[in-house]
Structure 1
Amino acid sequence: MTGRTTAPGSRADMMRNRRHLLAAATEAFAECGVDVSMSEIAQRAGIAKGTVFRHFASKDDLLAAIMLRLLERITDSAARLRQADDAGAALREFMTTGVEALAADRAFCEVIGRPSLQHAEVRDAIGRLCDIVDVLTDRAKSQGRVREDVTGTDIVLLLGGIHQTALPLLDTHPQIWRRYLELALDGLCGSGSRTLPHPPPARLRLSAPSPPP
């Protein structure tokens, strides 16, 4: 047999390097902001700078990959719950999982969230998340578990809102997000509540951040 073969373990090495790179980059961005250099990230990951660029052509691509990984975790949790018998409990579990994920990565989310919206794949991933959460929300409404004027987009936006409300206190009260989540859940389930004063967005349209003047 002729021709060059791939060295055993080379693909495993590539995947391991990528995992180390994403973990190091998440930590670096959380600690130092998005201006941290690719050289610093490579050093933290224990790989050559050239290896970083073999995985990600630019820092923006690296930022997007990390945000996509977080969105994938949240979306997977929604997909797993969308056929649950108790749709109200499923929606509660999804929101708990989502806010908990944001709270765990709070420094990173604060730094990376807005810049990542410039990346089309991230915005598409948010759209897919909204689509799945629409299913969760519609099923909960059909069972009378949440108010009729709530949409999946409302739920996705609430995840970030609850996280932002708790953010200033998370260092000293790391579980305080659960308080604000419960307040939000009570509002979602409130029967006989007044009609919300503004219609929901038909679809979550997030704009990329404006460049500095």
Structure 2
Amino acid sequence: MSTPDRALRADAARNRESLLAAAEAEFADRGPSASIADIARRAGVAKGTVFRHFASKEDLIAAIVSGHLTTLTTVAHQLESSPDPGGALLEFLTVAADQRQQHDLTFLQSVSDHHPKVTALRDELHTRIGTLVHHARDAGAIRDDITETDVFLMMCAPVHIVENLSTPTPLLWQRYLAIIFDGLRPQGAHPLPQPAPQLS
């Protein structure tokens, strides 16, 4: 590939990332009422530029969510070979909660829930989490009856907890992650009253 071609590809990638950042900020401010025109204005581009990158508003939302899912999947994959499986699982949950703290994707996730790309990435993340949970169970770091679905559902729990406060300190979620993770440990564990759910 020639230097001009590489430069064009790099420019296109930067433009796409700028659009995604502008769109995420606009959705955070305006919720579902954010329009492509609003997003283009925020990004400093024409509406046509947005549609050159994303065929629809739904595809744009899916791209935002997919980016965050890809980040978590990459982190989980990198931690799979850790010599400390319990520490690796805790590190993953820390990264996941920190991402949730910085990026409130609740609305965007609900809109993109059935988008094929988002569904595929969510399934891949679930599989990667399963590997981390399997290693942690085998190492005795977490109780035997914890499943990957349990952990998948708890990823954002520490941040959701502190959202009940009007003005939580920025890192208060770490307190509740520590409480949650202690609940995963086998020491002093009691039988769980219900079986783990299955994700459809």
Do the aligned partners of 1:170 and 1:176 also contact (CA within 8 Å) in 2?
A: no
Secondary structure at the residue paired with 2:22? helix
- Say which SS state the counterpart of residue 57 (structure 1) adopts: coil
How far apart, in 2, do the equivalents of 1:12 and 1:171 lie? Answer: 41
What CA distance in whole angstroms lies between the structure 1 residues aligned with 2:180 and 2:53?
Answer: 40
1:32 matched residue in structure 2: 30
1:22 aligned residue (17, 20, 23): 20
Partner SS for 1:9: helix
Equivalent residue, structure 2, for 1:74: 72
- CA drift of 1:118 comes to 2.7
Deviations 1:84-137 (A, max 9, x none): 11101111111111111111113xx13322112131211221111110111111
* Contact 1:103-1:167 within 8 A present in 2 as well: no
Show the 5 A alignment for 1:194-209. Answer: 194-202=190-198, 204-205=199-200
Match of 2:119 in 1: 123
- Unaligned runs of 5+ residues in structure 1 are 1-5, 206-213
170-179 or 65-74, larger mean C-alpha shift: 170-179
Match of 2:134 in 1: 138
The 8 Å contact of residues 17 and 47 in structure 1, kept in 2 or not, is answered as no
Q: Does the 8 Å contact 1:64/1:121 carry over to 2?
A: yes
One-letter amino acid matched to 2:123: G
Moved over 6 A (4+): none
CA contact (8 A) 1:163 1:177 kept: yes
One-letter amino acid of the structure 1 residue matched with residue 155 of structure 2: L
Letter paired with 2:54: F
**RMSD of the alignment, in Å?**
1.6
1:162 to 149, 158, 164: 158
Identity score, percent: 39
Match of 2:101 among 100, 103, 114: 103
Aligned length: 197
Partners of 2:140 and 2:186 within 8 A in 1: no
1:99 and 1:160 in contact (8 A); partners too: yes
By how many angstroms is 1:13 displaced?
A: 2.2
CA deviations over 1:141-191 (Å, ceiling 9, x no partner): 111100000011111110122221122338541111111101100100042
> Aligned partners of 1:201, 1:170: CA distance in 2, in Å?
31
Q: Which runs of 5+ in 2 are unaligned?
A: none
TM-score by length of 2: 0.92
The CA distance in 2 between the partners of 1:123 and 1:141, in whole Å, is 27
| Structure-2 residue corresponding to 1:211 | none
